Structure 1
Amino acid sequence: MPLDIETPLPYQRDPACPFDPGSALREAQRNDPVHKYRLPDGRDIWVVTRYDDVRQMFTDPRLSSALTPYTLMLPGLDDTGLKVPPGSFVNMDPPHHTRLRRMVASSFTNRRMKELAPRLERIAEDCLDAMERTGQPADFMTGFAFPFPLLAICELLGLTDEQRDAYLDLTTRATGLAATPEEAHQLLAEAQRLMSDAVAAQRATPGDGMIGMLVEEQGHDVDDEEIVGISNMHLTAGLDTVANTLGLGVLALFDNPGQLALLRDDPAVLDTAVEELMRYLSVISATGGRTATEDLELGGVTIRAGEYVVPALAVANRDPAHYDDPDRLDLTRTPAQQIGFGHGVHRCIGGAMTLMEMRIGFSAVLRRFPELRLAVPREDVVYRGYNMVHGALAIPVRW
């Protein structure tokens, strides 16, 4: 059962349009851009709503990821139950963050992305084959949006077909961050076990993916727990983000038929299109936040040592001071400069992989199904409740 808990300000969306930030966020951006807000569990946070202030907070070394409670933005989960896993370097500060990030950097080079691209194109076609076999109408989320990025990340990691099937089964049973604490713990424990088994197997016989590379190149400088944490971090972070950008992306394109036709008919627009869809949709409404290690100024407000700061990415990506006509979807917008990947030392190391998956995914879908359309009235689409990644529960389509 989902928790009966209000949606915190950084995650609020406009009830009239699932793509737009909520009215309270818009009001804060206009009149109180670094906004004090009390979470449902009683903790206070500073919500940062303007683009320039968000960029500043991402680069300020006085704002710590490591000191921020892992459960700050998770509903109903206490800090004694969930700790930062070893290897999850997004929740670390330098030098620990730097050490682990450098270890995986070779998995995200331009050369590695070029090597992966043909495999990902094949995976996309296989997923579309399977969706087509199910017949019409089909759920775009379970038919393509989730299996494609999951299998793509498994390819990056170097998991076996059996391991990929196990993760695919796990994702179909996952209920997201609106699950009960017991369900969340159970799902996390199962994901941990699956990856632990995969790492142990590759410690004995390294493959050609990221896990095998860490085993072979880093040797005794990284232990199995850290490899498990690194791998699960990439799997969970990349899966939900890409899946829901693909899902909400097709809905946004249905709502903007001129932009849909442009993307379908002109492959040259792909690079700016995927950045613009990330900006416009901002499925990661906010990140986990930072903790001030000393007093500092941000957006004209004094943040005291020990206070929490959370960037509201969905509204920062619609900042009228930074974007012309920010509420308009324009697939030719350049430079897009969306801030969904973060900024500074914590900028998403898998950003190139994410963009490649979305270029391949949108291109494959529109090439295979040029007449793709909703199979239900627009108002019948149901969206996730309180969740760190925004999206639709199902998107029935015909083609």
Structure 2
Amino acid sequence: MGLMRTVGGWLARTALARLVLRKVGTRALSLLPEAALIPLRRDGLEPVAELDRMREEAPISKLPIPFGVNVWLVTGYAAAKQVLADTTSFSNDYTQLGELIGSQERNPGGLGFADPPDHTRLRKLLTPEFTMRRLARLGPRIDEIVTDCLDRMAAATGPVDLVEHFALPIPSLTICELLGVPYTDREAFQRLAVARFDLFGGAGASLGAISESLTYLEGVVKAQRAEPGDGLLGMIIREHGDEVDDQELAGLADGILTGGFETTASMLALGALILLRDRATSAMVRDDDTAIGPFVEELLRHLTVVQVAFPRFARHELEIAGAKIGAGDVVVCSLSGANRDEALAPGVATFDPRRAPTQHLAFGHGAHRCIGAELAKMELRAAYPALVRRFPDLRLATPESTLKFRKTSIVYGVEEIPVLTG
């Protein structure tokens, strides 16, 4: 989904994941008490009821994390906005994480683990490339990518997997177009991105995937440095030259790759599942162009595929919604919890495709809000109507109860969605 939470793919490198991996190995997450995993659990498309109960009891609560680390979970909408917007009281700096876990790994770079002024400087490099004017040039190409995916689905015989043939290739090819890298690398993009997200299934592999991705992208940056293309990397190199070095640029590209690929793919897959469930909503998206924008906004809020935000490290003692946070404590915002808080809007426990757009937190909030939010919305607004218009009789090929959802994942998703197109 997006660049849903640009550079949300880095979420797989959270403090909690790395901390427990460093301390007690790749099986560490299975040793955590169930209460600590509540923000990553779901019941189908819904956050588990325990998350609602936590928010009702208090908008912020301490998680039962062992290993001598204080971790706070924010589930209330107002408290989450406060934390996400506060770069004075909280730090995202990677060095804080590295010192905490004793990591010798290289700093992955990018926006997600940077504080001002470095974050401010790097974001200024990217912001012009994500204005609506610059992104408009990608619109026709996104439409072509969607059409090609649907053509391939139509040509297939028997059941077709919507994840493999629709949700994955659309963001993968869009990012190739955005960055200006060869389309032949799209399979490598998928392989390097996917392993980072399901903590039980791929936490160990994710660490290696990060390093491999950075190494690959540094090669892409060097090639662009020698001969700048028309994509984002080439534009930054032409306009800023040596203001940004190869390592920094590779880190930014890595965040765009991972954040824009897996998160958007999950949104496309889960959103398609909602359309399969609800024929009335499917017909609305198919027939009413004016309904597509609000539908996408409500879908982003309701699904909130990036379940938790980057960890924040408290720079000093402070109080949030009555909770006393100590210096050095880790604070994690449950985006899925905050987006179901009635303080956001009445009736947010349910999906309403005609709801007026809300100030949801699916893309985060404040200085670290997803810089690629508009690109994500472009992809979603193009893909959903095209899908239901091309295949008005689209339906599941197996009972929904047989679908396999991720069990403990920072970026929520489904493994496959077999469908019949005719």
Tell whether the structures are fold-level matches, with TM greater than 0.5: yes
Bigger drift between 328-337 and 178-187 goes to 178-187
Post-superposition offset of 1:26: 0.9
Task: Give TM-score scaled by structure 2 length.
Answer: 0.87
Superposition pairs of residues 343-362 of structure 1, within 5 angstroms: 343-362=365-384
Indicate the structure whose relative CO is greater, using CA pairs within 8 Å and at least 6 residues apart.
2
Distance 2:320 2:420 in 1: 48
Match of 1:63 among 87, 90, 113: 90
Question: Are residues 41 and 132 of structure 1, via their aligned partners in 2, closer, same or farther at CA, if it must alter by over 3 Å?
Answer: farther
Superposition pairs of residues 264-303 of structure 1, within 5 angstroms: 264-303=286-325
Contact 1:9–1:25, Cα closer than 8 Å, also in 2: no
Deviations, residues 166-200 of structure 1 (Å, cap 9, x unaligned): 32455577774434554223322332232122111
Deviations, residues 225-255 of structure 1 (Å, cap 9, x unaligned): 1111000101101111111111111112223
Match of 1:28 in 2: 54
* Aligned residue type for 2:309: T
- Give me the CA root mean square deviation: 2.3
Contact 1:54–1:316, Cα closer than 8 Å, also in 2: yes
Match of 2:79 in 1: 53
Match of 1:136 in 2: 158
Identity %: 37
Distance 1:298 1:345 in 2: 19
Contact 1:68–1:289, Cα closer than 8 Å, also in 2: no
SS in structure 2 opposite 1:359? helix
* Aligned residue type for 2:89: R
Distance 1:44 1:175 in 2: 23
* Aligned residue type for 1:126: D
Post-superposition offset of 1:40: 6.1
- Alignment coverage as a number of residue pairs: 391
Distance 2:98 2:339 in 1: 25
Pair 1:11-2:39 in alignment = yes
Task: Give TM-score scaled by structure 1 length.
Answer: 0.91
Match of 2:220 in 1: 198
Distance 1:189 1:134 in 2: 36
Match of 1:216 in 2: 238
Bigger drift between 140-149 and 319-328 goes to 319-328
* Aligned residue type for 2:377: L
Deviations, residues 286-329 of structure 1 (Å, cap 9, x unaligned): 01221111111211222121111111111110102322111221
* Aligned residue type for 2:39: Y
Superposition pairs of residues 225-374 of structure 1, within 5 angstroms: 225-374=247-396
Contact 1:14–1:22, Cα closer than 8 Å, also in 2: yes
Post-superposition offset of 1:32: 2.1
Distance 2:182 2:42 in 1: 42
* Aligned residue type for 2:306: I
Distance 1:47 1:174 in 2: 22
Question: Are residues 272 and 84 of structure 1, via their aligned partners in 2, closer, same or farther at CA, if it must alter by over 3 Å?
Answer: farther
Bigger drift between 165-174 and 275-284 goes to 165-174
Post-superposition offset of 1:216: 0.9
Contact 1:10–1:47, Cα closer than 8 Å, also in 2: no
* Aligned residue type for 2:54: A
Match of 2:107 in 1: 84
Post-superposition offset of 1:397: 0.9
Post-superposition offset of 1:63: 1.2
Distance 1:66 1:213 in 2: 27
Match of 2:173 in 1: 151
Match of 2:411 among 368, 389, 393: 389
Pair 1:116-2:138 in alignment = yes
Structure 2: gaps of 5 or more residues: 1-25
Distance 1:381 1:165 in 2: 24
Distance 2:156 2:409 in 1: 29
Distance 1:70 1:151 in 2: 32
Contact 2:91–2:312, Cα closer than 8 Å, also in 1: yes
* Aligned residue type for 1:90: G
Contact 2:111–2:368, Cα closer than 8 Å, also in 1: no
* Aligned residue type for 1:350: G
Question: Are residues 125 and 28 of structure 1, via their aligned partners in 2, closer, same or farther at CA, if it must alter by over 3 Å?
Answer: same
Contact 2:75–2:334, Cα closer than 8 Å, also in 1: yes
After superposing on structure 2, the runs of 4+ consecutive aligned residues of structure 1 that deviate more than 4 Å are 67-72, 168-176
